[in-house]
Amino acid sequence: MRRVDLVWQLDQTGPRSVPIVALVCGLVGLILAYMGAAQLQRFGAQSFIADLVSVGVVREIAALMTGVILSGRVGAAFAAQLATMQTNDEVDALRTMGVNPIDHLVLPRVIAMTLTAPLLTAMAAAVGVAAGGLVAVLVFGMLPADYWARSVAALSGSQIAIGLGKGTVYALLVALAGCREGLAAGRSALAVGQATTTAVVKGIVWMVVAASVMTMLLQQLGW
């Protein structure tokens, strides 16, 4: 694995994904806060908006939405790039030269996704909680200091770690799905499109399955 390949993949995976991740997670935070507050208000419990948004976004939603976005943006790109190389016989050329395609092509992509996923998840969580705060303050009249105090009180180190860990696992699954489908693609233009579509679908399905399993296990463990 060349360092320049890893740096390039880090740039493609991380900084270039920030705008869309921030936009989507911010909007999801707005929706969660508004819908949750509307229900809580019926019972006079709108002060729990901060608890709902902070725990929901940090522990579950930020990681899952980041994974879905990475699947559509980065996982699809991985599959398309590798499938195109397969179509052009570039992968076979690497093998002929004694270069392992896994080390040269797959490893930089997987490492880049694994390293950038926690950072993107943390950013997504911060944006989602902040967006929820806007709704709580501007729409439901909650004091900003009260919102942030309740958010901090509702969160624990284990919940933050679980959210970041889930984001890392989801990104790893997305990267593996994209690389696997790209290297397994046929040698035609149609195969490139099929590999890209399959990579996105498999990445999202694997994420949902992993999310279900991890959530049930963590609940059983009392985390």
Condensed to tens digits (0 to 9), the pLDDT of residues 52-110 reads 899 999 999 999 999 999 999 999 999 999 999 998 888 889 888 888 889 889 999 99
In the block, which residue shows the tokens 């997504």?
A: 124
- pLDDT tens figures, 176-212: 999 999 998 888 888 898 999 999 999 999 999 999 9
For residue 142, what are the CA distances in angstroms to 50, 65, 138? 10, 27, 8
CB 174 within 8 A of CB 74: yes
pTM of the model: 0.89
Which two structure tokens, joined as six digits, stand for 13?
A: 């995976």
The DSSP call for residue 16 is: G
CB 121 within 8 A of CB 163: yes
Domain boundaries, the chain: 3-220
Least confident of 36-50, 149-163, 189-203: 36-50
Is 143 in a helix, a strand, or coil? coil
